[in-house]
Amino acid sequence: MVASPVTIPIQTMNLSPGSHLLIKEVSWEQYESLLQELGEERCIPRINYSKGILEFMSPLPAHERPHRIIGYIVTAILDAQGRDWEDFGSTTFKKLKQAGVEPDTCFYINNAKRVKSLQRIDLEIDPPPDLAIEADITSKTTLEVYEAIRAPEVWIFINNQLKILVLQQSGYVESRISPTFPDLDVVEMIPRLVQDAFTQGTSKMLRALREQLYR
């Protein structure tokens, strides 16, 4: 049986920056048909899916830079520590015909070697990203999806503060310590470096960070 399409004018949607739209009673088949219809080179905002709820999110103009800057910081630290990593950006992750999420950015670190040659991720056989990073999150749906795909660590950056969420058996628990960087106070470090990037420039901030890391 061919899934019927989502009966909303998807291609004509125009969400204002910073807004998000929830559509209920959407089947998994409709969600997958929508992703296929829109393709990878879409102009529509990010799309998440959980328990029959389809979520469209339109980032604020100031949304994109923080998570990109944080991604640069993460890779600078990992390189200084001599650790492997793979950047999977805003890849769509789908799990058990129940959930789908597109992170702002995400990294494979502990599992970098397992995914280094992959062009697509199948969570039925491949691991979820070790670290997902989101900026300006106001919707609960997103965390529900991360829990469904079993992402072990999620960073949320909002109002120039970093929140670390670590997956436990009962769900996500906020932590002061990052399992990815247990020896660093990233809760203090990340907001300060993001602010430095805005005041000094990202490249200058990263050069100073690398000099400090390699001392």
pTM of the model: 0.79
Mean pLDDT score of the chain? 85
CA 213 to chain CA centroid, Å, is 25
For the cut 90, the answer to whether the pLDDT of residue 60 exceeds it is no
pLDDT for the residue numbered 27: 84
pLDDT for the residue numbered 61: 56
Lowest mean pLDDT among 141-155, 177-191, 198-212: 141-155
48, with CB counted inside 10 A (0-12, 13-18, 19+), is buried
pLDDT for the residue numbered 71: 97
Among the four given CATH numbers 3.30.70, 3.30.390, 1.10.101, 3.90.1570, the one describing domain 64-213: 3.90.1570
pLDDT for the residue numbered 157: 93
Q: Which of 215, 214, 205 is nearest to 72 (CA)?
A: 205
Give the pLDDT band (50/70/90) at residue 100: confident
Write down the domain spans for the chain.
Answer: 10-57, 64-213
Q: What is the dihedral of CA 35, 150, 51, 89, to 10 degrees?
A: -30
How far apart (Å, rounded) are the C-alpha atoms in residues 181 and 91?
23
Tell me which residue has tokens 């029959």.
52
pLDDT for the residue numbered 129: 97
